[in-house]
Amino acid sequence: MNELEVSDGKVVRIWWLLTWRFNAGAFVGWAVLAALLGFLTEFMNLSLGRVILDPQFVVWLGSALWSFFWFFIVIRMMLKKRYNGFRLAIIADEPATAEQPEASQGQP
């Protein structure tokens, strides 16, 4: 496996994939969650006759959790994608040589 030099073109391609996929999926997720959680929270509040949960907070919390979850999915997509002429890989460094601990004086 050849290690390639990091060029501006490669960085832009990776950045663009990360940016547009995250933003597109996050926007769709936020819209669906806002509608669903807002409706359910308002329905619960109205059916109980009092405000138990603030719908804005519930929507904010659901959107924040969705963003966190969605970002991991986008990173996985980014690592699996084959770009034009390269792909990203996670490889192990060369194993470090283990140093022998010095024997304590007076210990067998």
Query: Is the pLDDT confidence value at 31 over 90?
Result: yes
**How far is the C-alpha of 53 from the C-alpha of 34, rounded, in Å?**
14
Query: Is the pLDDT confidence value at 53 over 90?
Result: no
Return the structure tokens found at 107.
């210990």
Q: Quick one: how far is CA 39 from the chain centroid?
A: 27
Which backbone phi and psi does 61 adopt, to 5 degrees? -65, -45
Greatest alpha-carbon pair distance for the chain in Å reads 77
Query: Is the pLDDT confidence value at 108 over 60?
Result: no
pLDDT by residue (tens digit) across 15-29? 988 999 999 999 999
